[in-house]
Structure 1
Amino acid sequence: MKFKSCFFFLVMVCSGKLFAEDKPCDLPLIENGNLALYYYSFKSYYFPMHKGKKLSYSCMIGYTTEAGTQDGRITCTAKGWDPVPQCYRKCTKPLLENGSFYSTEMYFKIHEKLEYECNPGYHTPSGGTEDTVQCQPHGWSFQPSCTKKLESCQVPKLPHGSYSQALQEVQLNRTLRYSCAEGYRTAAGNTTETALCLSHGWALTPSCTRITCSSLSEVAHGGFHPVKKIYEEGDVVHFFCDKHYSVTGFDLIQCYDFGWYPDPPLCEDVKKKCPLPPLPRGHVSTTRRTYHNGDKVHVQCQGPLGIRGSEEILCEGGKWTSPSICTGTMDKQESEAPPPLEADAEIRASQAHHNEDMSRSNCLSLYLLSEMEQDCASPPVIKKGGVLGPLLASYKNGSSVEYACQHYHFLDGPSTVYCHQGNWTEQPTCLEPYTLNVTDMDSNNITLKWRQEELIFIHGDLIEFEHKQGYDFLQTAIPSPGRTQCDHGRLKYPKCVIQAATEKCGSPPSIANGALTLPALPQYDSGSSVQYVCSDYHFLEGSARIYCSEGQWTLPPVCIGRC
């Protein structure tokens, strides 16, 4: 019998060790991605998964995994899912005037780089002729641009400030000192600044901006007034809380030149706060505006009165534990003397707290009854989408569900909706994709500018077209007449018309150690372009693309060999 007991104990210990090491993995939440729908519908059957199990997931259209693929695979380990499933938005090739990109792709994966060069006489933000941008989780690392090289900088107007010299322009590599009026700061955040003129313009353009404070975050269970995008020095903001919550600290804060003072408060559940201690014939050693759970105070009685109970009381669950009582008799003069101001405040606060407790008790039954009637029915059905997981007949107040759209559809609005007092919060909509129509492109005399793997585009995607040979865009006044955007499943094609009779160009010039990317034609219309590429071990100097303009080609590049 003793042997059996020991054996059972060993089995239990070993089993516990095995289960501790084999930590299960729950259903992963993937932003901008999802699993197969049956995993959500039968969640309790598939999850939690044990260590070693593998799971596949897909990213929404327009998003990829960190490896740049549409689908990913994760493994359950002792530390959870590995790698953590994430979906990153692809980067669309940005606009670039007075320069060209080396790549012909339109979309780029996370961490992928895109090189560009500026036309002769133009330079990058860093002052060079070439630069590289990288696709990051929130977009490109910076906006690529090519600006004309300057020999001098024009002195801008300076509202709320003044210059040390009355100049119209400043020569290259020279400086100009300026100062700002009270309540304003320079571009670098100082009262005075020295601006430097560089080949691409001012290093920091002279300006005087009003001192502002950081924007205020939303307050859980409360709010503030006024709500502004920008707060200026001197602005005062008032904070308020919902029912059953109160402000921690000060409800008024002000914007100063150094920021907000005091710090913005929070809204705290009144159950986590205690009123002033109810001591009509005594006081506490330290008086505060508010007391929180865990705070302790020492009780002191007036004059000759003695204390019955603990000298130290604790704030717990919104109430004081073991309330102390001051007992005994006092002289008539002392007893009739008005209590100290802080004691008077304590009495009034105690009475108000007592009245509030009575009011809560009287309304408690009605409140609970109304709460029971606030459940929600099944969440609404949305077109081309649905709720992840099994649907229930009813949902408790405060519960939530997650929506997802069918493949190639764009979810517009909140993906999570909540049951609030018998009603669901705003549901999202699934925006239709758009499939390019070859007939429509032909009728508008356009073709796709960049190579595309698919002709399906979702809401917000940018599509770039180019005109057919012998045609030109109808709207040439805008910077990129061939670029349009998919909007709610619709697309407005740019229109091209026959070019006016202009002088054509012959075959483009040949260059040493380089060639055209496409075979040359005997004749080109004005506005056409060709692109060059250099041989191995040579690099290209100048613009890779040249244009036919009124019978003449623009200057071709040069392929230079390495030293």
Structure 2
Amino acid sequence: MEPIGVLVCVLCCIVVGAQPSDNKCENPKLEHGRLFPWLFSDLSINTAIRYRCDEGYVAANQVSKSYGSAKCTNTGWDPEPKCLGPCSTSKEDMNANGIRTGFVFLWTRSPIEHGDSILFRCVPGYGISDPSLLRVQCNDGVIPYPKCTKLEGCGPPPIVLHGETVQDRVKSYEHGSVMTYKCPLSYTLEGNQNITCRNGKWDDLPACKGPCRLSEEEMEANGIRGGLFLWWRQSTLHHGDRVSFRCVRGYDISDFKLLRVQCDNGVIPYPKCSKPESCGPPPVVPHGETVQDRVKSYEHGSVMTYKCPQYYALEGNQNVTCRSGKWDDPPACREPCVVNSKDVEENNIRLLWLGTEKQYVQHGDYIRFRCLRGYGIPDYNMLTVKCHQGIVAYPKCTAQGKP
């Protein structure tokens, strides 16, 4: 026989052997269970069978608690009839992995059926990266045991500046050991008083924050005095306590909120008040004058009041204050508008009200005109104008044609 013919023959045998003979499946072999009925006369394609597993075993394709089913297909039984075995824990395996069974195991059925969950716990002194790994599942008689590793101990706990431990210090500590710190009188403990050794490392340390003392020299150098806490001059401020100051007479600060500060580990960030500069004469306002007499120099906080002549409009704040060498922005005296008969006649208009040849109108006020008889304007709203710094934009009326 040729080599190619031999290869074809072998492949045919393999394919034929994998298929059910004569479009039928072989009688299934089932361990740890029994078939219903125990011998099948018809095992043709699409035939379904049922089987029951022994106590403690679970059917691969469950129909009910103890029963399974399978179907004859072109490739054989689907799924293959099989009874999945129970699990039992082994002390040797648990010791090798540093684990014990958890409390839930006390209520677990014995034996442990396929698919049941088993909860373990690490033995004292051992740990695991993720506690969820301690819950595993029985898989056809096999338990995938989790592994806990021995946790490292710690050396002596770190020293805290100005602090001490409540317990005596020793050279080594087991994982899980707890040390407690305390601070001297007037010091404030910041952080967790208790720290724990966790796998070779101590938790973050607390800190003993120092108290503060008010200093007359520091206050004098910064131009301040004690405020609400004036009576604490000779007392101790604890870390975190707040204290309020005030500026001495003749001194000032940009923001009064800065006068309230906090004791920070023995340090008081004193606010600084400075002596404000005086001002020269107040600014001159065109057409305006000051109510008070003008002098060469003014102290910080001095106030000057401005006024404008008759018909002039004062725009801005009438009072200005000297603040650390600078005056506030002064007001302005806005010129009035003068409405005269010549300008009115040239534009064929007249005032809505009768008056003298000259009318004075304050800056910002409105003036209303009307057209002379026989004259008109496209929009009567144009006959109302506003006085702006002495200027009037006169409207113009034009002659109307006869109908």
Q: TM-score range by the shorter chain?
A: 0.3 to 0.5
Determine which structure has the larger strand proportion and give its number: 1
TM-score (norm 1): 0.27
Which protein has the larger Cα radius of gyration, Structure 1 or Structure 2? 2
TM-score (norm 2): 0.37
